[in-house]
Amino acid sequence: MISEERIRERDEILIPGQPALKRAGRSAKPENTVIAVNGVGIGGGEIVVMAGPCAVEGEEQLVSTARAVKASGAKILRAGAFKPRTSPYSFQGSGIEGLKLLAMARQETGLAVVTEIMDPRHLDLTCRYADILQIGSRNMHNYSLLEEVGTSRKPVLLKRGMSSTIEELLFAAEYVMRGGNSSVMFCERGIRTFETCTRNTMDLNAVPMLKRISHLPVIVDPSHGTGHWWMVPPLSKAAIAVGADGLLVEVHCDPEKALSDGPQSLRPDRFDQMMRELRPVAEAIGRSFHCPGDSRPDRS
Ligand code: PEP
Ligand code: MN
């Protein structure tokens, strides 16, 4: 087991006073960064839930899911228009049409939108339709893309590479911030290990480690982290308990017919149930959590 002293040495490489992390480290900014998106503060006292389908599949699918997740307390709608698929023969997303549908869903529901950008040439286009730019796991090491989103002032959700270390994730944030964009949030989405029962291994260690080293918000994605819808509620609770600032959750009205990631997508009723169960967990550690339908006063 790694000793407390070893962890301190590691911190010294990465944090206070050291040149390694010039922007993302607590030496650059001791207090937590709170990123304001559409009236919500990510990284503040409130746990922010981003939810929606893996991919935009059509207007009805997107808008009905957006309405459902909003009714359950999600503040941000997630869905991919450009999808990074392992096989080039799998559904690749609906592209620009998908971005337009996301803007329509935002208009309909008032939810902010987070969607993935895969190509630096799509920056202006994506900024027109999205409130948060998602850098996917496969692109965490794509330094030209990181630099490109660094030139914009849109908040960036930076997902951890599936085989990347926490240190590499921190330096990926530096690439974005060096361009002047300081609104970066990390997303732990599970890493590849020898385990095969789950899609990835949810590295919840990363949450307190990132919070200790960096002032940036940390989001957890238990959908990609586990690959199983029924594991999403328990891992969401665990993520909040270890200090995550928010969650990124896949929800689909008909998971069996989903064009991608059905097995890890919660049905809206199950998502709603989970949201109700998350509030006491958040409150137990002094965070606030909003889920409509719960008439108890906000105690934080
Ligand atoms: C996603 O969030 O839709 C996604 C593709 O995730 P990841 O990049 O973590 O695989
Ligand atoms: Mn997905």
Q: Quick: pLDDT tens for 61-73.
A: 999 999 999 999 9
What local confidence, expressed as pLDDT, does residue 291 receive? 84
Q: What pLDDT is attached to residue 300?
A: 47
Answer yes or no: is 24 within a domain.
Answer: no
Residue 134, classed as helix, strand or coil, is strand
Q: Which residue has the tokens 């390694």?
A: 20
Q: How far is the CA of 136 from the centre of ligand 1 (A)?
A: 5
In a domain, 2, yes or no: no
DSSP conformational letter for 39: T
| 7 falls within a domain | no
Given the structure tokens 């990347």, which residue do they identify? 164
Q: Which domain holds residue 212?
A: 35-289
Number of domains in the chain: 1
> Which-ligand-closest: CA of 259?
2
Q: How far is the CA of 251 from the centre of ligand 1 (A)?
A: 13
Q: 4 pLDDT band (50/70/90 cuts)?
A: low
Pocket of ligand 1 from Cβ distances under 6 Å: 54, 80, 84, 136-138, 159, 189, 224
Ligand nearest to the CA of 220: 1
Report, as an integer, the average pLDDT of 127-138.
98
Between CA 168 and CA 211 the distance in angstroms is: 15
Which amino acid residue places its CA nearest to atom 10 of ligand 1? 137
Question: Is residue 81 in some structural domain?
Answer: yes
**pTM over the 0.95 mark:** no
For residue 86, CA distances in Å to 74, 91, 172 come to: 29, 10, 22
Q: Strands, E, within the chain: which ranges?
A: 35-37, 40-42, 48-52, 76-78, 112-116, 132-135, 156-159, 184-188, 218-220, 246-250
* Per-residue model confidence (pLDDT) at position 201: 98
State the pLDDT confidence band at 20, using cuts at 50, 70 and 90.
Answer: confident
Cα 46 to ligand 1 centroid, rounded to whole Å: 24
Task: Give the separation between CA 77 and CA 62, rounded to whole angstroms.
Answer: 9
Closest ligand to residue 260's CA: 2
In angstroms, the CA 66 to CA 132 distance is 16
pLDDT of residue 134: 98
> Does 89 map to a domain?
yes
Round to whole Å and give the CA distance between 6 and 287. Answer: 30
The amino acid at residue 166 is I
Nearest to 261 by CA among 98, 74, 83, 68: 83
CA gap 299, 249 in Å, rounded: 25
When comparing pLDDT for 179 and 5, which is higher? 179
Average pLDDT in the 105-127 region? 97
Distance 97 CA to ligand 2 centre (A): 18
Identify any residues that bridge with 76 across adjacent strands, giving them in sequence order. 50, 112
Domain annotation covers residue 157? yes
Is 50 exceeded by the pLDDT of residue 202?
Answer: yes
Average pLDDT of the residues of the chain: 93
Q: What is the dihedral of CA 153, 157, 163, 167, to 10 degrees?
A: 60
CA dist 295 and 30 (Å) reads: 36
Structure tokens belonging to residue 298: 């906000």
Sole residue written with tokens 């301190």: 8
| Rounded CA separation 118/133 (Å) | 10
With tokens 């911030």, the residue in question is 177
In the chain, what percentage of residues exceed pLDDT 90? Answer: 88
Question: Is the pLDDT at 256 greater than 90, yes or no?
Answer: yes
CATH of the domain at 220: 3.20.20.70
Q: Calculate how far, in angstroms, residue 222's C-alpha sits from the geometric centre of ligand 1.
A: 11
Query: What residue owns the CA closest to ligand 1's atom 1?
Result: 54
Q: What per-residue confidence (pLDDT) applies to 240?
A: 98
Is 70 exceeded by the pLDDT of residue 16?
no
Residue 139 lies in a domain: yes
**What are the backbone angles phi and psi of residue 207, rounded to the nearest 5°?**
-65, -60
Residue 98 has pLDDT above 90, yes or no: yes
Residue with tokens 């206070």: 16
Over residues 170-185, the mean pLDDT reads 97
Other beta carbons within 10 angstroms of residue 120's beta carbon come to 15
Q: Is 197 contained in some domain?
A: yes
Q: How many percent of the chain have pLDDT more than 70?
A: 91
Under the banding of pLDDT at 50, 70 and 90, the label for residue 292 is confident
pLDDT class for 3, splitting at 50, 70, 90?
low
State CA 25 to chain mean position distance: 20
Residue 77 bridge partners (DSSP): 51, 113
